[in-house]
Structure 1
Amino acid sequence: MKPIIICTFYRAPHDSQGTQIEELDLSLSKLGNKINTHNVIITGDFNLPNINWEDHHVTPNSGYSTVAANKLLSLVEEHGLIQHVNEPTRKQGNANNILDLVFTNRPGLIKKLNVVDGIADHNTIIIDVNISPKRKHRPKRKNFIRNKADHLNIQKSLDDFTHEYFSLNQNMTVNDKWNLFHTKKMCKRKKRLYKKA
C-alpha cells in the first residue's frame, strides 16, 4: 500500500487575490515527488462557487473572486488533481453552491462519496477511500520464565558485577555506566540464566 497524505484547507471568502490558494500550491510543491508516489487527499471549504467542475471553467459571478478561482483551476491542473464533489454542499435561499471540495491525485482513490446534511450551514461530505492497511507482523520475542531462573547464579553474578562496577573510573558518564551495566552484563546474564518460555 502506498503511504497516504491527507490535507485540509480553508479559504476565507475575503481572499480575493487567491493568496491562500498560492500557499496551498506552495505546500503541494514542497511535497515534491511524493505527489506522484503517495496517495494524496485534499479536502476543505474553498468558498469558490463560481467554478464549474464539470468542464473546469470559471463562471461569471459578481460576488466571488475570479482570480482565486482561476488560481485554483491552475493548481488542480499543475498537480494533476481530480475534484470529486459534484453536488451542492451549501444551500442558501435559491443558491446551491459547491463550496466544499475533495481532491485526489488518483482517480480510483475515492470509492464512494456522499453529501449529507450537516450540523452547520454546510453539508457534510463522507468519503469511502479505496485503501487497505498493510499489517506488519511483529517479530517473535523471547520470553523468560522468572520462577524457573537459577537465582543463586544470578545473585552471584550481581555480586561479582557490583565489585567491578564500583571500581570503575569515576569519570564515566551516567549513560556510559548504564550501557555497561545493561548491555555487557545484565542482558547477557539474563539470557544465559533464565529458561525460555
Structure 2
Amino acid sequence: MKPIIICTFYRTAHDSQGTQIEELDLSLSKLGNKINTHNVIITGDFNLPNINWENHHVTANSGYSTVAANKLLSLVEEHGLIQHVNEPTRKQGNANNILDLVFTNRPGLIKKLNVVDGIADHNTIIIDVNISPKRKHRPKRNNFIRNKADHLNIQKSLDDFTHEYFSLNQNMTVNDKWNLVSKKSSTL
C-alpha cells in the first residue's frame, strides 16, 4: 500500500492575484516525487465559482478572479490532479456554486463522494477513500499458563535472589543492578 498525504486548503475570496494558489503550488512542488509515489488528497474551500470543472474552463463572472482561477487550473494540470466534486457546495439565492473541492492524484482513489447539508453556509463533502490500512502482524508471544507453573520453585528462586541482591556491594550502578534483575527474571 502506498502512503497517503492529505492536504487542506483555504483560499480567501479577496486573493484576486492567486497568491494563495501559488503557495499551494509551491507546497506541492516541495513534495517532489512523492506526488507520484504516494496517494495525495487535497481538500478545501477554493472560493472560485467561475471554473467549469466539466471542461476546465474559466468563465468571466464579475467579482471573481479569473487570474486565480487560471492559476488553479494550471496547478491541476501541472501536478496531474483530478477534481472530484461535481455538484454545488454553496447555495446562495439563485447561485449554486462549487467552491469546496477534492483533488487526488489517482482517478480511483475516491470510492464515493457525497455532498450533504452542512452546519454553516457551505455544504459538507463526505468521501470514502479506496485504500486499506497496512496491518502489521504482531510477533508471536509466549503465553504462560499460570496453573502449570512451579510456584514453589519460583518463590524459592526469588527469595534466594532477594538475599543475593541486597548482600551485593551497594556501590553497583543502577544499570548494573538493572542488568542483574533483568538476567534473573529471564531465568525464572
CA distance in 1, matches of 2:4, 2:126: 17
Distance 1:196 1:162 in 2: 15
Deviant stretches of 4+, over 6 Å: none
1:46 to partner: Cα distance: 0.7
How far is the alpha carbon of 1:35 from its aligned partner?
1.4
What is the alpha-carbon distance in structure 1 between the residues aligned to residue 187 and residue 174 of structure 2?
Answer: 31
Q: Distance in 1 between matches of 2:174 and 2:61?
A: 70
SS of equivalent to 1:108: coil
* Number of equivalent positions: 183
TM-score normalised over the length of structure 2: 0.80
Secondary structure at the aligned position of 1:141 is classed as coil
In structure 2, the CA distance between the partners of 1:130 and 1:165, relative to structure 1 (3 Å rule), is same
| C-alpha distance 118-174 of structure 1, shift in aligned 2 (>3 A) | same
Q: Structure 1's 163 and 127: CA in aligned 2 closer, same or farther, altered over 3 A?
A: same
Cα 1:105/1:163, change in 2 over 3 Å: same
Query: For structure 1, which segment, 107-116 or 126-135, has the greater mean C-alpha deviation from structure 2 after superposition?
Result: 126-135
Q: Residues of 2 paired with 1:78 and 1:164: CA distance?
A: 72
CA, structure 1 residues 137+121, in 2 after alignment: closer, same or farther (shift >3 Å)? same
Could you tell me how far apart the structure 2 residues matched to 1:171 and 1:67 are? 76
Contact 1:143/1:196 (8 A) holds in 2 = no
| Alpha-carbon offset, residue 163 of structure 1 | 4.9
CA distance in 2 between counterparts of 1:87 and 1:138 reads 44
2:53 counterpart residue number: 53
Structure 2: distance between partners of 1:18 and 1:40: 22
* Change beyond 3 A, Cα 1:46–1:163: same
Residues 78-121 of structure 1 show CA distances to partners (whole Å, capped at 9, x for unaligned) of 21110011222111112221101010100111222222322221
Return the TM-score normalized by structure 1: 0.77
Root-mean-square deviation (CA, aligned residues, Å) is: 3.1
Cα gap change, 1:39 to 1:176, in 2 (>3 Å)? farther
Is 97-106 or 140-149 further displaced after alignment?
140-149
Further displaced range: 51-60 or 41-50: 51-60
| Distance verdict in 2 for CA 1:32–1:153, change over 3 Å | farther
For residues 20 and 175 of structure 1, do their structure 2 counterparts lie closer, same or farther at Cα, with a shift above 3 Å needed?
farther
Q: Deviations over 1:3-62 (max 9, x none)?
A: 222222211212223232233223322322221112111111111112222222322123
> Structure 1: any 5+ residue segments left out of the alignment?
181-194
Unaligned runs of 5+ in 2: 181-185
